[in-house]
Amino acid sequence: MSDNQTTTDVVVLGMGPGGEDVAGNLAAAGVSVVGIEAELVGGECPYWGCIPSKMMIRAAHLLAEARRIPGVAGSSTVTPDWAPVAERIRAEATDNWDDTVAVDRFTGKGGTFVRGRGRLVSANIVEVDGHQYSASRAVVIATGTTASIPPIPGLADTPYWTNREAIQTAELPRSIIVLGGGAIGAELTQVYARFGVDTTIVEALDRLLPLEEPEAGDLLAEVLRSEGVNVVTGTGATQVSYDDAFHVTLADGRELVAEQLLVATGRRVDLDRIGADAIGVDPKARALPVDEHLQVTDGVWAVGDVTGRGAFTHVAMYQSKIVTAAILGEPHTPADYAALPRVTFTDPEVGSIGLGAAAAREAGIDVLVGRAEVPSTARGWLHKTGNEGFIQLVADRRRGVLVGATSMGPNGGEVLGMLTLAVHARTPIEELRSMISAYPTFHRGIEDALGQLA
Ligand SMILES: Cc1cc2nc3c(=O)[nH]c(=O)nc-3n(C[C@H](O)[C@H](O)[C@H](O)COP(=O)(O)OP(=O)(O)OC[C@H]3O[C@@H](n4cnc5c(N)ncnc54)[C@H](O)[C@@H]3O)c2cc1C
């Protein structure tokens, strides 16, 4: 080790859920690991993503449930207050955006922590503020994503929010325009509406949740409209300006005005910033190319959003197990994303896995579709208010297995669990049909959908 160089077994660049897990596992296994993080150990998920957003959703859900009391359980008066939500995010979720506990967890396992922005110098050297960290066994890139900001004229000069400001705000605006009808945009839209914010969501494609089965986005739009949201689809923003309010001009000529604007139009990998050309990767590529062992090139692995295989914490954690085993030289199963579940935590929740019906047909599969409406199941019917949803199964007729499924409804993400197992284990449909599902559960609706496979 010289003054400006440290030699170690492994360098982990970026300590979000993926990097933190790999670095911690390797350190716990006795490997010498340097973990480098420019912001907060834990990354987007605990500080500006999954966890605080789900706290917001939990609070919004309570408001909605309270409003559903009339006609079922008495009467209710609901007075939303953002203060406890903001305080819970500050104190319980993020420790006031302080990562001391996470850093200590890593160093407690024997890891060496470096705060700073790293850049690849070669396949085994990462530089931070002029100091080089040289890895004798592996470099793991886990630098994640940031909010992707579309090049809409005027937008860059306005004080718009990304997920960062949306999560950190102590107060809600009176009105908001949400650009982007994907999972993040849809979830936050519903939170705002339920807290009494005058909310518009704009999705340039034909429907909300464009990656899901079309029926899911359509039904979600219906639910959001019933909660007072202005849902605009099939037209994008062409101009944004700001005076004392945001003015968003749409492609169809309409103008929207609101106190705040949230940009939720996807996530972006920045390979240029990490010096990807030093390992022979085009810095303009959309993601780091990895093989099924998550290897980029000799001695370099990647995990998480930066691999472009699904921007979910559970993908980062799944990949982390593989990379840890690969670096330790332990046997492991190569990555397979055929049974990758995803959940949009709106109410109703939209859980899905594998292929949608159209994608399965495009893939040349002889498709059977089976569907059950949640309100027509025993549990959905008795649930009554707030029971919107459906279960849709996509089967491969020839192989007799499910290749995809959507479970939208109350606890739709939980119902997805059984469907995840079925797709993952390629359980024969006949086997699924012979199961006994408890009455009257929401997941019993899967039996009805199996009966409809045709
Ligand atoms: C609002 C929102 C809600 C979400 N909800 C969910 C959800 O419910 N479920 C789910 O599964 N996923 C959810 N996600 C996605 C989830 O947060 C990400 O998939 C996950 O955080 C990815 O982990 P990662 O380790 O790949 O990267 P990140 O969490 O992005 O972490 C990467 C880390 O690397 C650091 N870094 C970057 N470049 C450098 C550098 N050059 N040097 C040093 N450090 C660097 C960054 O500072 C960051 O801390 C949500 C995301 C958002 C924004």
Each residue's pLDDT tens digit, 296-309: 999 999 999 999 99
Distance between CA atoms of residues 425 and 431, nearest Å? 11
The whole-number pLDDT of residue 2 equals 62
How far is ligand 1, taken at its centre, from the CA of residue 16, in Å? 6
For a pocket test of ligand 1, which of 187, 313, 343 has the largest count of ligand atoms closer than 8 A to its C-beta? 313
Mutate to test the pocket of ligand 1, among 139, 143, 162, 314 (most ligand atoms within 8 A of CB): 143
**Residue 355: which residues within 8 A CB-CB, separation 6 or more?**
363, 365, 394, 403, 404
Instruction: Note the pLDDT of residue 150.
Output: 98
Question: How remote is the CA of residue 306 from the centroid of ligand 1, in Å?
Answer: 9
| Cα 244 to ligand 1 centroid, rounded to whole Å | 32
pLDDT over 90 at 426, yes or no = yes
* Ligand 1 centroid to residue 43 C-alpha, Å: 5
Q: What is the pLDDT of residue 3?
A: 76
Q: Give the pLDDT of residue 366.
A: 98
Decide if pLDDT at 454 tops 90. no
pLDDT per position as a tens digit, 42-63? 999 999 999 999 999 999 999 9
Average pLDDT over residues 102-126: 98
pLDDT in tens, 123-165: 999 999 999 999 999 999 999 999 999 999 999 999 999 999 9
| Mean pLDDT for the stretch of residues 366-382 | 98
> Cα separations (Å) of 417 from 16, 93, 339, 393, 424?
25, 25, 11, 13, 10
| Backbone φ and ψ of 438, nearest 5° | -60, 140
Residue 1 has pLDDT above 60, yes or no: no
Is the Cβ–Cβ distance between 185 and 179 less than 8 Å?
yes
- Residues near 253 by beta carbon (within 8 Å), at least 6 away in sequence: none
Ligand 1 pocket test target in 50, 290, 315, 353 with most atoms within 8 Å of CB:
50
The total of other beta-carbon atoms located within 10 Å of residue 124's CB is 19
Structural domain boundaries in the chain: 5-42+99-145+269-328, 155-265, 341-451
- Compute the distance from residue 442 Cα to the ligand 1 centre, in Å: 32
CATH class as words, domain 155-265: alpha beta
CATH class assigned to 5-42+99-145+269-328: alpha beta
Ligand 1 centroid distance, CA of 312 (Å): 8
- CA quadruple 313, 319, 323, 324: dihedral positive or negative? positive
Nearest protein CA to atom 51 of ligand 1, as residue? 49
312, 281, 305, 307: which is closest to 294 by C-alpha? 307
Q: What is the mean pLDDT of residues 395-403?
A: 98
Q: Which CATH superfamily is domain 341-451 in?
A: FAD/NAD-linked reductase, C-terminal dimerisation domain (3.30.390.30)
Q: 317 C-alpha to center of ligand 1: Å? A: 11
Average pLDDT of span 427-438: 97
- What is the average pLDDT value for the chain, to the nearest integer? 98
- pTM of the predicted model, to two decimals? 0.97
Mutate to test the pocket of ligand 1, among 15, 22, 44 (most ligand atoms within 8 A of CB): 44
Q: Provide the β-strand partners of residue 126.
A: 120, 133
| Over residues 377-404, mean pLDDT | 98
User: What CA dihedral angle connects 124, 268, 337 and 211, to 10 degrees?
Assistant: -170
Contacts of 361 (CB under 8 A, 6+ apart): 367
Query: pLDDT tens digit string along 316-345?
Result: 999 999 999 999 999 999 999 999 999 999
Instruction: Determine contact, residues 11/34, Cβ cutoff 8 Å.
Output: yes
CA of 324 to the centre of ligand 1 (A): 19
Q: How far is the CA of 327 from the centre of ligand 1 (A)?
A: 22
Q: CB of 31 within 8 A of CB of 22?
A: no
C-alpha 396, offset from chain centre? 28
Domains 5-42+99-145+269-328 and 155-265 share a fold: yes
What pLDDT was estimated at residue 343?
Answer: 98
Give the binding-site residues of ligand 1, using a 6 Å CB cut-off.
Answer: 13-19, 36-40, 43-45, 49-50, 53, 117-118, 142-145, 163, 184, 274, 304-306, 311-314, 316, 345
User: Closest ligand 1 atom to the C-alpha of 18?
Assistant: 25
